[in-house]
Structure 1
Amino acid sequence: MRQRFSDSVERGERSGNAGRQSASFRSFLTKAFLLGTLTANAPAALAKDCSPASDGSNPCPVTLVRPPVAPLSAMAKLGKALFFDKALSGSGQLSCASCHVPSAHYAPDNALAFAKGGVAMDKFGVRAVPSLTYRERQPPFSVGPDNATSETAPPPPPPPGIKGVKSASNTGASAQAMVPQGGLFWDGRADTLQSQAAGPLFDAREMAATHAGVAARLRHAPYSADLFRLIGAHASDDMLIAEALFALARYQIEAPSFHPYSSRYDAWLEGKTRLTRDEAEGLRLFNDPAKGNCAACHLSAVDEEGRPPLFTDHQYEALAAPRNPLAPKGTYDLGLCAAGRADIGHNDAYCGFFRTPSLRNSATRKVFFHNGVFTTLRQVMDFYVLRDIEPERFYSRRRDGSVRPHDDLPVRYENNIDNTDAPFEKHASPALTPVEREKVIIFLHALTDP
């Protein structure tokens, strides 16, 4: 069994004017298969080879179970107004949509590694802005295969050698280990879309809003009457802000544009289109544990409820991305171990770990990895294949001219770096040739929603 999911990251029911969210996380386990898809109606598909046929068609078509489409609720409509409201920011120049641009799949539409913000618009964030798409099935943070830890006791630290080898042919194996998974942001510091929205809103380097300023805007905005109709006329400032954040979450959960599942790959899964020869070969290489092994972390198969793949296992990896020269000097971004989570604290075993992103719409992104160090998918593919074979292509050099591998992670945390999963295994030659890397990239373009 592979991974815990939740049907809805933000599921709330209102009771009077209380305005409290009642979150319900229903966990279940999923299975992923190397070259197959599974439907509730056709378990026999498990035994079939569901790789693309010679003509690019899908020999195992399925009916995908997508999120239901319905008119937006009143709370979600309010969230939409908030999402585009620049007056919520300290500068009056930034809204959520400024960095999460709808036409760019709710990611930045520029090539800035770090977004510009602050009250005077003279500061920069410290991480690349992720897309907000496909968050409706994001699980909360946990450590372990089934979130078995009690609510009062913190998750146990990982014992030495916990990391199992990840293989696209057996994605269930690594899920049995006590591994960090779930959560939002690159470092998993938030569990809900409400708390995620509060992060950039009140960050002095981003939207730079203040508690008082947001409350004042909520009381005197064009949408204020709608807000008070939903929560009552005598809400406190804290209630106003909490409900505004909840509304933002509802908008992201309910609006189909955040999770359309409308890519060519989705159409192929349903047997409605054919992959080109290069796309089909790229998918094969993507899934092959001896080649790209991409599907070990970026799951490519339909789950056992018939839902489209998210192309992430929601887990964390220490990949040792090169340092971005634009990053703040004299500092290291340690990721998960410095997320400030009370349940795990600062655990050295998690330093350098960042959340595995979905690859959906990755072909339209302008920067990649948590620090935006790469600007093309070809650079990303080259790094995965050549990181340990040609480190001089990616890392800086010391004063004596020697290469400083893993130059964005302190030496004491280097044991955390993934050196075991293909294609990071030690190879005398690259696991993927340049032509094969290009075919994987061609396949990734098939994950783009129109």
Structure 2
Amino acid sequence: MTRDAASLRRTGRVALMLAATVLLASLVGAGGIFVQHPERAPALFGDVLQDVTGFNPHPVTLLRPPAQPLSALAQIGRRIFYDRSLSASGRQSCASCHSPARSFGPPDGQLLQPGGMTMVAQGLRPPPSLAYLYRQEPFGIGPAVDDDAPPPDPAAQPPAPAGPRAPKQASVAAGPAMVPHGGLFWDGRADTLMDQAAGPLLNPNEMANPDTATVVNKLLRAGYGEALRPLFGAAIVRNPPLLFAEAMSAVSRYQIEDPAFHRFDSRYDRWLEGKTRLSRQEMRGLRLFNDPAKGNCAACHISRPTADGLPPLFTDSEYEALAVPRNPAVPANRDPHFVDLGLCGPLRTDLARQTDYCGMFLTPTLRNSARRGVYFHNGRYRSLRQVLDFYNWRDVAPQRVYPHGVPDDLPRRYWANIDRGDAPFGRRRGDTPPLTDVEIAAIIAFLGTLDDGASPPP
């Protein structure tokens, strides 16, 4: 190709991009081309324009937590977070299971993390990520709330780019549903980050301290009493319950104040702000992620900013019974009579009689999910492809999911709790699966844009 021909070709590409941008702007003025108003524009034409540009036609300003130096209390919390001397083995800290290098999730691809007195014990569930918990509310059960509803005056701000949250049939099928939401851990048994920080210290399969008095003695030996004295007075070293509580408060403040726990600097965040573009495959994955008739992922993993500009957390913080297959690699599952019922126990005991919630687990954020390497409450799947295959095949070909073609990790008496109404679920056995291999690959490509640490645009 001659230099003149190459130059002409580049000029043609630029002209196409400019024309697409002009057309895109005109469509935006007419009401938008995203899922939010699908009746206002031909979907195919909109898809072509998005594929050409890859930019968000409705850029927004995201309100991130302010970046500022850690408070004195948060600095003490950071020390505690990395302090292995507070464990019974002397070899485990909070960071051992919540690695900063892995977005405060499991440090490797292991199903369960070792712990206990001799670092050979294993718990029941993979540790969830500690990232993006600063907006998590305490556990509660109440009417389903559309926390992604558009603002009262749509003309006051541009429409959100990712489309509205699809209604969840599992929450509305029987009228005004009482929906579990909020809380920490897979079963929501901790209401605050303070409670969450205390849990592993006393768990026999983790840091394995027998009681809070033992932890307090270790805190004093490590100098935390003196560190906390200027903040809470000299009496704190003579008040073990107060010392323990304030030490956990320090860990909580560290998680709230340190931007590393809620970076909001993924490529998707930059795309929302109009600062970068997504590839054609990633754009297609985003549309499938939001499409109520296809992936419908955004029904639970909300992808749009809040009405007041907070970045999306990619979770509605609600609970679902998905009937994930039993994982024989979980040591507790060697007992054929054992079953993990989530909200109904065994780790949580106060809802044991609330059988409508048996088998339900917290919906986690999908931020950094491409890096996690262990998925669902029992770690049954080890890749995003396996996760999406589960959603795709569970109802239409259950024999591909369960050894005997029926849910095998939830007693039959609780099968009514399983979400069977929300796409991609809800199809009949033998139906065509909702997603093709190409579409699954596109959704996985989009999920990769949710990883923290995207390079700033040039």
Distance 1:146 1:423 in 2: 20
Query: Please, which of 386, 392, 401 is the counterpart of residue 399 of structure 2?
Result: 392
Distance 1:345 1:414 in 2: 16
Distance 1:254 1:438 in 2: 36
Q: Which residue of 1 aligns with 2:88?
A: 90
Q: CA distance change for structure 1 residues 412 and 280 in 2, over 3 Å: closer, same or farther?
A: same
Cα RMSD over matched residues? 2.1
Q: Which residue of 1 aligns with 2:9?
A: none
1:334 and 2:335 are equivalent in the alignment: no
Query: Please, which of 106, 120, 137 is the counterpart of residue 118 of structure 2?
Result: 120
Distance 1:173 1:66 in 2: 32
- SS of the counterpart of 1:123? coil
Q: Which residue of 2 aligns with 1:182?
A: 182
1:366 and 2:366 are equivalent in the alignment: no
1:299 and 2:307 are equivalent in the alignment: no
Deviates more, 1:179-188 or 1:223-232: 223-232
Q: Which residue of 1 aligns with 2:191?
A: 191
> What does 1:314-333 correspond to in 2, within 5 Å?
314-327=317-330, 328=332, 329-330=334-335, 331-333=338-340
Distance 1:348 1:174 in 2: 16
Q: CA distance change for structure 1 residues 449 and 89 in 2, over 3 Å: closer, same or farther?
A: same
- TM-score (ref. length: structure 2): 0.79
Shift of the alpha carbon at 1:389? Answer: 2.2
Q: Which residue of 2 aligns with 1:11?
A: none
Which consecutive residues of structure 2, in runs of 5 or more, have no partner in the other structure?
1-27, 36-46, 146-163, 454-458
1:446 and 2:449 are equivalent in the alignment: yes
Query: Please, which of 288, 313, 318 is the counterpart of residue 316 of structure 2?
Result: 313
1:238 and 2:241 are equivalent in the alignment: yes
Distance 1:215 1:142 in 2: 31
User: Deviation per CA, 1:244-288, whole angstroms, max 9, x where unpaired?
Assistant: 111110000000000010000000000000010000000000000
Q: CA distance change for structure 1 residues 282 and 412 in 2, over 3 Å: closer, same or farther?
A: same
Q: Which residue of 2 aligns with 1:415?
A: 416
Shift of the alpha carbon at 1:168? Answer: 4.3
Q: For this pair of structures, how many residues does the alignment match? A: 381
1:169 and 2:166 are equivalent in the alignment: yes
Q: Which residue of 2 aligns with 1:48?
A: 32
User: Deviation per CA, 1:389-420, whole angstroms, max 9, x where unpaired?
Assistant: 22233223xxxxxx152111111111111111
Which amino acid in structure 1 is aligned with residue 406 of structure 2? P
- TM-score (ref. length: structure 1): 0.81
Which amino acid in structure 2 is aligned with residue 130 of structure 1? P
Which consecutive residues of structure 1, in runs of 5 or more, have no partner in the other structure?
1-43, 148-166, 397-402
Distance 2:274 2:436 in 1: 30
> What does 1:198-209 correspond to in 2, within 5 Å?
198-209=198-209
Distance 1:91 1:405 in 2: 42
Query: Please, which of 285, 289, 311 is the counterpart of residue 286 of structure 1?
Result: 289
User: Deviation per CA, 1:91-141, whole angstroms, max 9, x where unpaired?
Assistant: 111000000000100001211111111111121010011100000110111
- SS of the counterpart of 1:246? helix
Q: Do 1:169 and 1:289's aligned partners in 2 also have CA atoms closer than 8 Å?
A: yes
Query: Please, which of 38, 54, 57 is the counterpart of residue 55 of structure 2?
Result: 57
- SS of the counterpart of 2:235? coil
Q: CA distance change for structure 1 residues 46 and 130 in 2, over 3 Å: closer, same or farther?
A: farther
Deviates more, 1:208-217 or 1:118-127: 208-217
Distance 2:77 2:140 in 1: 28
Distance 2:302 2:216 in 1: 41
Which amino acid in structure 2 is aligned with residue 422 of structure 1? A
> What does 1:268-279 correspond to in 2, within 5 Å?
268-279=271-282
Superposed structure 1 runs of 4+ greater than 4 Å apart: 44-47, 171-176
Which amino acid in structure 1 is aligned with residue 73 of structure 2? M
Which amino acid in structure 2 is aligned with residue 353 of structure 1? M
Between 1 and 2, higher relative CO (CA 8 Å, sep ≥ 6) is seen in 1
Q: CA distance change for structure 1 residues 444 and 146 in 2, over 3 Å: closer, same or farther?
A: closer
**Which of the two has greater helix per residue?**
2
Distance 1:350 1:46 in 2: 45
Shift of the alpha carbon at 1:169? Answer: 3.4
Which amino acid in structure 2 is aligned with residue 207 of structure 1? M
Q: Which residue of 1 aligns with 2:24?
A: none
Deviates more, 1:329-338 or 1:265-274: 329-338
* Structure with bigger gyration radius: 2
Identity across aligned pairs (percent)?
52
Q: Do 1:106 and 1:133's aligned partners in 2 also have CA atoms closer than 8 Å?
A: yes
Shift of the alpha carbon at 1:231? Answer: 2.0
Distance 2:240 2:275 in 1: 51
